């Protein structure tokens, strides 16, 4: 099984780099290290929206490298739009975001019409796209299944005594992730908290505002991020509109319960914990509920959280589900393609 994997890193680093600019970057990294024959095609960040250049390039590389499938993780037109869907190689498209771009519905629908596959990462995301699709087309969006965004990777880490009451991880983004909401909510309290972030633009106003915050780490390698995450009593997911949340899983895998900044008591990451007592939703940006949630996890059984998380989100389970998605995509394409070719001849 040979896979073509387009890879865009916000920091323009190669796939083996140990600093991840985004959850999608981490996801691609996991694919690369899970499957034996993966051909990575690095796309310059500046070219992401140049669909007239990138889509034909990906199709030609797929043929040149004689791959069995293209796995696309990006929702820009270059990776799933009209210029690539006529690919003679099946495409497994995985949607990772709740993009507000209306054309995404047409892109996903057209992929399916051409015999390719579309997978989402959560029912929360499906509900969002259903509402968008219903508004635009009068129909719910079709898809082929769900794929978890991550799994428990490597060896189970040792539990350590917390040094911080709460911590969070997120790119330095003032629009979506907003990791420094944690500092803002707790600025006049004695709650010891930690923010770990990466910066893409050192002139960005959001970065300049927060760059000297105490107990803040910038651009750490992933291994060091995990070491510090393990030192947190709780983890706070700042973004209410996540589609899954790899960092929430990473927290749980270290025995750290999660607190989620939710709206309408609903968050995509609610499906990740193995037990309902391992997480709490709070009303969006509620300082009082955040402080209460942190206190509520005093004395929590961290070993139970860790063990149950590793059992639910094992690499074996993730690989099996992903392998089935690949097989399903290829088989569907083989059955659909002859009909499509006959129709368009």
Architecture of the 3-151+315-344 domain: 3-Layer(aba) Sandwich (3.40)
The least confident of 8-12, 26-30, 223-227 is 8-12
Average pLDDT over residues 185-199: 96
* Under 8 Å between Cβ of 285 and 266: no
Indicate the pTM of the whole model: 0.89
Is residue 23's pLDDT more than 90? no
Residues 240-251 pLDDT 10s: 999 999 999 999
Is residue 344's pLDDT more than 50? no
Q: CATH classification of 166-312 is 3.40.50.2000, yes or no? A: yes
Is residue 7's pLDDT more than 80? yes
What's the pLDDT score for residue 11?
64
Is residue 266's pLDDT more than 90? yes
Average pLDDT over residues 28-53: 90
Reported confidence tier of residue 47, pLDDT bands at 50, 70, 90: confident
Which residue spans of the chain are classified as CATH 3.40.50.2000?
A: 3-151+315-344, 166-312
Average pLDDT over residues 94-119: 94
- For residues 47 and 77, give the distance between their C-alpha atoms in angstroms, rounded to a whole number: 11
The residue ranking higher by pLDDT, 141 or 322, is 322
Buried b (16+ CB within 10 A) or exposed e, 53-64: ebbebbbebbee
What's the pLDDT score for residue 30?
93
Reported confidence tier of residue 320, pLDDT bands at 50, 70, 90: very high
pLDDT above 90 as % of the chain:
84
What's the pLDDT score for residue 19?
59
Reported confidence tier of residue 337, pLDDT bands at 50, 70, 90: confident
What's the pLDDT score for residue 17?
65
Reported confidence tier of residue 345, pLDDT bands at 50, 70, 90: very low
Is residue 343's pLDDT more than 80? no
* Under 8 Å between Cβ of 108 and 95: yes
Long-range contacts of 335-344 (CB under 8 A, 24+ apart): 335/115, 336/114, 336/115, 337/88, 337/115, 340/114, 340/115
DSSP letters, 156-186, are: PPPP---SBSEEEE--S-TTTT-TTHHHHHH
The residue ranking higher by pLDDT, 210 or 9, is 210
- For residues 252 and 189, give the distance between their C-alpha atoms in angstroms, rounded to a whole number: 25
What's the pLDDT score for residue 10?
65
Which residues are CB-neighbours of 125 under 8 A, at least 6 positions away? Answer: 95, 98, 243, 244, 268
What's the pLDDT score for residue 342?
47
Average pLDDT over residues 30-41: 95
Is residue 192's pLDDT more than 60? yes
What's the pLDDT score for residue 339?
59
**Whole-number mean pLDDT of the chain?**
93
């Amino acid at each position: 099984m040979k896979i073509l994997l387009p890879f865009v890193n916000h920091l323009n680093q190669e796939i083996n780099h140990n600093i991840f600019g985004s959850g999608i970057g981490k996801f691609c990294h996991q694919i690369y290290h899970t499957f034996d024959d993966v051909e990575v095609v690095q796309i310059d960040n500046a070219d992401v929206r140049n669909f007239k250049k990138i889509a034909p390039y990906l199709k030609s590389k797929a043929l040149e490298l004689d791959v069995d499938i293209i796995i696309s993780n990006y929702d820009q037109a270059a990776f799933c739009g009209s210029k690539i869907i006529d690919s003679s190689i099946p495409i497994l498209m995985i949607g990772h975001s709740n993009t507000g771009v209306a054309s995404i519905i047409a892109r996903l629908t057209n992929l399916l019409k051409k015999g390719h596959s579309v997978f989402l990462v959560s029912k929360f995301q499906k509900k969002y796209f259903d509402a968008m699709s219903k508004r635009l087309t009068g129909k719910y969006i079709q898809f082929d299944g769900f794929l978890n965004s991550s799994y428990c990777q490597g060896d189970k880490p040792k539990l350590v005594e917390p040094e911080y009451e709460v911590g969070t991880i997120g790119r330095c983004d003032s629009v979506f992730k907003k990791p420094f909401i944690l500092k803002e909510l707790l600025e006049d309290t004695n709650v010891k908290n930690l923010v770990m972030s990466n910066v893409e633009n050192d002139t960005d106003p959001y970065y300049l505002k927060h760059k000297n915050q105490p107990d803040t780490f910038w651009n750490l390698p992933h291994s060091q991020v995990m070491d510090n995450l393990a030192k947190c009593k709780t983890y706070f997911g700042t973004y209410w509109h996540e589609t899954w949340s790899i960092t929430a899983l990473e927290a749980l895998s270290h025995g750290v319960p999660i607190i989620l900044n939710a709206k309408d008591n609903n968050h995509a990451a609610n499906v990740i914990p193995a037990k309902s007592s391992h997480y709490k939703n709070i009303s969006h940006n509620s300082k009082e509920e955040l402080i209460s949630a942190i206190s509520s996890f005093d004395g929590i059984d961290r070993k139970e959280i860790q063990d149950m998380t590793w059992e639910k989100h094992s690499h074996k389970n993730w690989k099996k589900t992903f392998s089935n998605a690949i097989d399903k995509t290829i088989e569907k394409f083989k059955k659909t393609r002859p009909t499509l070719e006959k129709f368009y001849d």
